[in-house]
Amino acid sequence: MREENAPVPVPTVENERHPTGCPNQTKVRPLEEIRKISAPISAEKPLWYVFLLMAIGLASEAWGFVLIKKGLLQHPPAGPFLSGSHLAAVFFQLVSTPLVLLGTALEALHFGVLMELLSFGEVSFIIPLTSVGYVLTPLTALFLLHESIPPERWAGIVLVCAGVFVLLRYKTPS
């Protein structure tokens, strides 16, 4: 039976062997130390929360871009976007287009989710994860806007995904 003021035993994992390979000379590290070394997100946030936020953020980004494009196709701007004389007219036309407004709101949601993720995760981990949007956005455009996506573009998307996979497998050094 444990005394009331006795320290609570810390769960450990055998993760390194002594250089001689002797089983009785195993280095043991506490689990929280291993998490600090290998996880580029704060230990306070569960992994399911990170993936839920990523799913919401990536879906809102993909749908946001597609809805903005769809709105612009339905109501093309009256003139050049950055022309001084037409700027006010173009602005009011865009803010009166429901699909553009909805797409912009979804992009704002994506940005809010990204800020939440960055509040507890490493930039070098979170931002590459968001590149999964490079797959979701073209797929959304393919199905909703019926855009054709050439094989060269798909090859580029596959390379981006391969890069993300490499980054996810990398362990942050201590």
Q: Is 156 left (phi over 0), alpha (psi -120 to 50) or beta?
A: alpha
Return the closest-CA partner of residue 54 out of 70, 35, 41, 71: 41
pLDDT at 92: 79
Determine the straight-line distance between the first and last CA of the chain, rounded to whole angstroms: 36
Domain for residue 39, yes or no? no
Domain for residue 58, yes or no? yes
Structure tokens at 112: 């809010």
Domain span at 150: 47-169
Residue range 87-100, pLDDT digits in tens: 777 777 778 899 99
Planar angle of CA 70, 111, 167, nearest 5 degrees: 105
Residue range 137-169, pLDDT digits in tens: 999 999 999 999 999 999 998 898 888 778 777
Domain for residue 104, yes or no? yes
Q: What is the pLDDT along the chain (174 residues), one digit of tens a residue?
A: 556 666 555 544 444 454 555 555 545 555 455 445 455 666 678 888 888 999 999 999 999 999 999 998 887 766 666 666 677 777 777 788 999 999 999 999 999 999 999 998 888 878 878 888 888 999 999 999 999 999 999 999 889 888 877 877 766 555
Domains: count for the chain: 1
Domain for residue 16, yes or no? no
Domain for residue 1, yes or no? no
